[in-house]
């Protein structure tokens, strides 16, 4: 139940601007703080709900998918780095961070098969997909940015992604299963 409540809180706080723009606009800068607090509360509820959920297996885990999961996770971290650094990838991919969330969710569904995994990762996959749909509905035409990032910036984004993945993977191993096989 906490897991679902966390997903609802996370989704609602992020969709507020898209679903009720006048209400969100009236809040001004205070609305940003409220979204941040609600998002953090959603994360806490998702983490606690996931950790306390029973391990009801829906499909078998596949150790052979760990390598594909990790490859997708490098791409996830790269998409987040590319978004922040405005690399050439941001001229190709309209919503790099939301693509990252979708790939993150899919990667985790490949290696985890419990009901809690389906609710958490499937729920965040649906959230990211719906977020793209809401953004695209509000702004259907995308003017691709003209990015001329240097090769060094591209390499920096990739190196940063690998380092971030290593750090997050290490922390993941401290609080949960070791992600590197």
CA distance 110 to 136: 28
Average pLDDT over residues 3-25: 94
The pLDDT assigned to 102 comes to 98
The pLDDT assigned to 86 comes to 87
Burial annotation 65-98 (CB, 10 A radius, 16+ → b, else e):
ebeebbebbbbbbbbbbbbebebbbbeebebbbb
Q: Supply 93's token pair.
A: 């991919």
Helix (H) or strand (E) holding 23: helix 21-27
pLDDT 10s digits, 122-177: 999 999 999 999 999 988 888 888 877 788 888 999 999 999 999 999 999 998 88
Average pLDDT over residues 45-62: 93
- DSSP-derived letter for residue 57 is B
For residue 28, count other CB atoms closer than 10 A to its CB.
Answer: 9
**pLDDT above 80: residue 46:** yes
- Domain residue limits, the chain: 1-52, 56-181
Q: Supply 64's token pair.
A: 């052979």
| 143 three-class SS | coil
For residue 39, count other CB atoms closer than 10 A to its CB.
Answer: 16
| Residue 10, CA atoms < 13 Å, CB-side half-sphere | 22
CA distance 111 to 71: 13
CA distance 175 to 13: 27
Average pLDDT over residues 119-123: 97
Q: Supply 180's token pair.
A: 């590197």
Helices 115-138, 29-52: crossing angle, 10 deg rounding? 160
CA distance 4 to 10: 10
């Amino acid at each position: 139940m906490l897991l679902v409540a966390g997903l609802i809180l996370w989704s609602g706080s992020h969709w507020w601007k898209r679903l009720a723009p006048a209400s969100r606009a009236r809040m001004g800068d205070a609305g940003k703080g409220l979204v941040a607090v609600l998002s953090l509360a959603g994360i806490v509820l998702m983490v606690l709900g996931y950790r306390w959920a029973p391990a009801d297996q829906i499909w078998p885990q596949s150790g052979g998918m760990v390598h594909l999961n990790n490859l997708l996770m490098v791409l996830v971290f790269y998409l987040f780095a590319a978004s922040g650094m405005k690399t050439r990838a941001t001229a190709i991919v309209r919503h790099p961070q939301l693509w990252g969330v979708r790939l993150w969710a899919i990667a985790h569904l490949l290696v985890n098969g419990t009901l809690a995994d389906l609710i958490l990762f499937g729920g965040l996959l649906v959230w990211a997909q719906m977020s793209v749909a809401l953004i695209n509905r509000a702004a259907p035409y995308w003017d691709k940015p003209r990015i001329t990032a240097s090769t060094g910036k591209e390499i920096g984004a990739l190196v940063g992604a690998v380092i971030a993945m290593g750090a997050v993977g290490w922390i993941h191993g401290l609080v949960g299963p070791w992600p590197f096989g």
